[in-house]
Structure 1
Amino acid sequence: MSPRVITLESEIDWPGFRREARTLLASLVPPDEVVWQTPGHPAPELWQAEAPPSPVAGSAPMRRLGGSGPSRLVVPPAFITLCEKVVLHQDPQRFALLYRLLWRLVHERGLRQDPLDPDRLRARQMLQSVRRDLHKMKAFVRFRPVGQPEGEPPLSVAWFEPEHHIVEAVVPFFVRRFTQMHWAILTPECSVRWMPAPANSPPLAGEDALPGELEFGPGASKEQAPAPDQGEALWLTYYAHIFNPARLKLSMMAKEMPRKYWANLPEAQLIAPLAAQASERTTRMVQAVPAAPRRRIPARAPLPPVDSMHDPEASLAALAKSADRCRDCPLGEHATQVVFGEGALQPPLMLVGEQPGDQEDLAGQPFVGPAGRLLDRALQELGWPRDALYLTNAVKHFKFELRGTRRIHKSPGQREVLACQQWLEREVALVRPKAFVALGATAARALVGRAVPVMSERGQWLTGPAGLPVLITLHPSALLRGDPAEKDSAWRAWLDDLALASRYIRGEEEGALSQPRAEA
């Protein structure tokens, strides 16, 4: 019996292959009795097409879904994805391989669990080769403008030699990437041309409608590709100047940009001379005298001793300006500005937080964000006028990490706290408060000089700078992050902590350290 010859309409006739494969499987035609041919790879003349054979008597029927009618084959979804790509391969036997795999998937259930099967390995290799060719075409197509008759829109043309039949598959990428550009891509197998729709054209009808006209034509020769232009010379100048000889890896470059593509890349003519000079240029770079680093903001000038500052307000302003230029840790370089303290001098209380947040960083003022609004609410309920207090932070710059376009608060480390210690100490010496309220662990550590377990020591008075009392409590942001079910109880407990310092607002600061919490 002569093999049955199946003729597909084109080299990438995936719908035709899918339709014919279903019919052959329904007729129980084994793979070795089928010959697949395409216009570019016809079957030998001695193979004549025959009518499909009848099912063999006694054979197990194909599994059908949905009752009578054409059978609906049940195969892994990954196999369909594999077929859609493998049909683009240049191997003339790709359709025979895919039908053989389909036949075996239906009749050999164990094939799905055998990744080392030769047919599966070959199909996987072909899939990877096609994917690589698709990627290379997207990366190495270079458009060049060509002259057009007067009144015609500018046309850019590119020449590419794909290894597989991938042009139609990769065209949607170029349509999306260069939607408003009039372009054409020439290849030995076929050519494609895109003409964008005029700006005043009516809206598109249908989800699949293209914003322009796409035409496919016959293949072309390299002689029909446009010659280099002035823009290409500018690109070569730029390419030569960004070349870094110290990072040259020829083996990796040849892997990612194979030599077969070099003939169509304008920068390829520079690769050999630049690579030949790489070793000498790298040596000169290593031996060169290092350039002096440039700071985004000038380094701060040395600070005068605190006891020499006779005008506290002017001294605080000068201190804040100097802190804005601080680079003792990385925070100052990335923050918008320094956020120094503000409030009354010689206040009854100095409230010290952890660090400025996102809104404080933008405004340049402490406690103006969500935590600051919660603190204002507490001050109002306690009857503490904010303008009678002094509010500041242990760390003067905003520490954050980017998540998309958002700046997410990140707790400062010990290095940042120690770097800012000098600013806090000078600030305390100028403000001269009667007592402190440490809002959170970072502030407590900066004021007390040791790690303070806030949850176990909250509501207690500890000794701080110059022997002044420090009340330990939570930072208002801790309440914002807390359990919503315990919101009211946490709020009342925090107010109870703060109320212990009310005696300083009333001028009753004497003996505060010795007063038990129950008497507050």
Structure 2
Amino acid sequence: MLSVRLEKFNDFGEWRNKARQLLAAGMNPSQVVWRVGAEDSGLFEAGDDMLPQPDGPIGSVPSQFIDLARDVIQHADPERFAILYRMLWRLQSEPHILQNAADSVHQMLAKMASAVHRDTHKMRAFVRFRSIIVEGEERYIAWFEPDHYILEANAPFFTRRFSGMHWAIITPYASAFWDKDNLRFGPGGSKKDIPAEGAVEDDWRIYYGAIFNPARLKVSMMKSEMPVKYWRNLPEAERIAPLIRNARQMEQDMIARATTQPPARHLRQKAREVEAPEKTEQFQTLHDVSEAVDACRRCPLYEHATQAVFGEGPPQAQVMFVGEQPGDQEDLQGRPFIGPAGQVFDDAIKNAGIDRSRLYVTNAVKHFKFVPRGKRRIHQKPNTGEIQACRFWLDLEREFVKPKIVVALGATAAQALVGKAVSISSTRGRAIDLEDGAVLIVTNHPSYLLRIPDPETKAREREKFDADLMLIKSMMQTLEK
């Protein structure tokens, strides 16, 4: 029996390297036992030191298995490595086995992946940071007890969500540390390492009490979404029992003080109906439109944005790129696509041999929609009403520029251009005729590439994006003939 030793509980790359060595040596799953860390080997188990290191590709597997394995490797079942290798071995002779949902091994892997997904959802929902002061600086620390080894895969989510905070997440098996620039991992800890009370505890209690709706109380469903096992680590959980106990009286009080005034959103809509004097006939040039857009009051986004960000490029450009909305830098400087996503865009079109000075670049929504988080403004996706309200300006841009090719960067832009929600996967790679005679091409927004944490996935998606731009370059060359 061969003992294969892994150093980490959940390192997919480490497991894959060992599995490739086993395949190269022709090792049947029945001949292999997997060990982790300092786990003792059996008396009759040989070490894996003599396994060959393959120089090139070994076998083949569908991408579905890679995605499945990345999830399963995080599961706490000690047999996960063996089960994955058993499936990998079978895939060499049964390449379509993953299409058989009734296969027992496939079912085991699917259940493990599903359990990891549930644990991931709970972690992202129930991590609660506590504020502490370290050397005069405010920092945040959280304790969480996952069922599986999910910390490393989920830490990048928290770096994006709390990028401006100096934080640590402690779990029994490992810890993650973020210093606003770098993410690192260390050994696990215990709950006693976490302060008993933090400055933000009251905020959670107040927030939970504010969103509690006694008229929609369903205790069994609440416990399903917020399992009792997590309550001991949630500051707001202490309010659950009294809120449930008093729900009937709270509901009667709500009925007694029911409002007789229309909701604020109705009043805002009424005001917009009065404040929308823009008529298409009042604009004679694209410059007229660009001067008028900053006074737009068609939706509430203008209230917090620095300024409207209009399109930029030749007034008669043959190609128009449409993004989602201005970002933080665009909102401050009043120009489209100059932030991080704009840099990705510039690099990609340069590689495709496209001159940006020949393009008209704009956004479906002209004002920056965001939520404040500390000193930062975090992008928030515009809703259907905001997209529809801003379509007035996008239609004017298309009317004056008259592009032959319109490129939708992301689903929001595609929705603004075709008038309904569409998926990128169903429209990508094909030309769609628009009513004004232009041709629409749909691809990802450059910011999507920035958000992908996995290097392999990022490289794969960048290749797709580059291929879409090469298609556009080819279409531009056809127009020039």
How high is the TM-score relative to the length of structure 1?
A: 0.52
Question: What residue number does 1:282 align with?
Answer: 251
More divergent stretch after superposition (235-244 vs 157-166): 235-244
Report what 2:42 is aligned to: 44
Q: Cα–Cα, structure 1 residues 112 and 482, in superposed 2: closer, same or farther, change >3 Å?
A: closer
Question: Which of 11, 14, 20 is 1:13 aligned to?
Answer: 11
Matched, 1:236 2:205: yes
CA deviations on 1:395-443 (whole Å, 9 max, x unpaired) are xxxxxx735264447xxxxxxxxxxxxxxxxxxxxxxxxxxxxxxxxxx
Other-structure match for 2:282:
368
Cα deviation 1:242-293 (Å, max 9, x = unaligned): 321011122222222111111111001111111121123224434x264322
Q: Distance in 2 between matches of 1:404 and 1:366?
A: 18
- For 1:295 and 1:32, the matched residues in 2 are separated by 67
- Decide whether aligned partners of structure 1 residues 119 and 402 sit closer, same or farther in structure 2, where only a CA change above 3 A counts: same
- 1:90 aligned to 67, 73, 76, which one? 76
Equivalent positions of 1:411-490 (< 5 A) are none
Corresponding letter in the other structure for 2:174: C
Q: Do the aligned partners of 2:131 and 2:199 also contact (CA within 8 Å) in 1?
A: no
**117, 122, 146: which is aligned to 1:162?**
146
Once the two structures are TM-superposed, the CA of residue 10 in structure 1 deviates from its matched residue by 1.1
Q: Which residue in 2 is equivalent to 1:227?
A: 196
1:271 lines up with 2:271 in the alignment: no
- Taking a change above 3 Å as real, the CA distance of residues 366 and 91 of structure 1, as seen in their structure-2 partners, is closer
> Which whole-Å CA distance do the structure 2 matches of 1:80 and 1:162 have between them?
23
Distance in 2 of aligned mates of 1:295 and 1:192: 44
Where in structure 2 are there 5+ consecutive unaligned residues? 286-383, 393-434, 439-481
Corresponding residue to 1:404 among 387, 395, 402:
387
Alpha-carbon distance in 2 for matches of 1:238, 1:220? 29
Structure 1 SS opposite 2:121: helix
1:335 corresponds in structure 2 to: 272
- Cα 1:26/1:404, change in 2 over 3 Å: same
Q: Cα offset for 1:14? A: 1.8
For residues 434-460 of structure 1, the C-alpha deviation after alignment (integer angstroms, 9 at most, x for no partner) is xxxxxxxxxxxxxxxxxxxxxxxxxxx
Alpha carbons of structure 1 residues 483 and 275: separation in structure 2 relative to 1, 3 Å: same
Within a 5 Å distance, the mapping from 1:105-144 to structure 2 comes to: 105-109=91-95, 111-144=97-130
Q: Counterpart of 2:298? A: none
Instruction: Specify the alignment match of 1:27 in structure 2.
Output: 25
Secondary structure at the counterpart of residue 186 of structure 2: strand
1:183 aligned to 2:167? yes
Equivalent-residue separation in structure 2 for 1:177 and 1:217 (angstroms): 21
Identity %: 38
**Amino acid corresponding to residue 35 of structure 2 in structure 1:** Q
- 2:220 equivalent to 1:251: yes
Q: Within 2, Cα distance between the matches of 1:368 and 1:50?
A: 78
Structure 1 residues 44 and 370: alpha-carbon distance in aligned structure 2, compared to 1, 3 A threshold: farther
Letter in 1 for 2:145: E
Q: Distance in 2 between matches of 1:184 and 1:47?
A: 39
Cα RMSD of the aligned pairs, angstroms, is: 3.5
Q: Distance in 1 between matches of 2:8 and 2:65?
A: 21
1:65-84 equivalent positions in 2, closer than 5 A: 69-84=55-70
Please give the alpha-carbon distance, in whole angstroms, between the structure 2 residues aligned to 1:50 and 1:185: 34
**SS where residue 158 of structure 1 aligns?**
strand
Aligned equivalent of 2:259: 291
Q: Distance in 1 between matches of 2:280 and 2:134?
A: 63
- The structure-2 alpha-carbon separation of the partners of 1:109 and 1:238, relative to structure 1 and needing over 3 Å to count, comes to closer
**Residues 27 and 116 of structure 1: CA distance in aligned 2, closer, same or farther (over 3 Å):** same
- Residues 296 and 333 in structure 1, CA contact (< 8 A), matched pair in contact too: no
| Distance in 2, Cα, partners of 1:331 & 1:242 | 23
Of structures 1 and 2, the larger Rg is shown by 1
**Unmatched runs of 5 consecutive residues or more in structure 1:** 55-67, 197-211, 298-326, 339-360, 372-400, 410-480, 485-520
- The 1:294/1:87 distance shift into structure 2, 3 A limit, reads closer
> What per-residue deviation string (whole Å, max 9, x for no partner) do you get for residues 167-196 of structure 1?
111111112222221111111111122212
Report the Cα offset of residue 47 of structure 1.
2.8
| CA spacing shift, 1:8–1:366, aligned 2, 3 Å | closer
Deviations 1:129-149 (A, max 9, x none): 112212221211111111322
Higher-helix-fraction structure:
2
| Cross-structure match for 2:296 | none
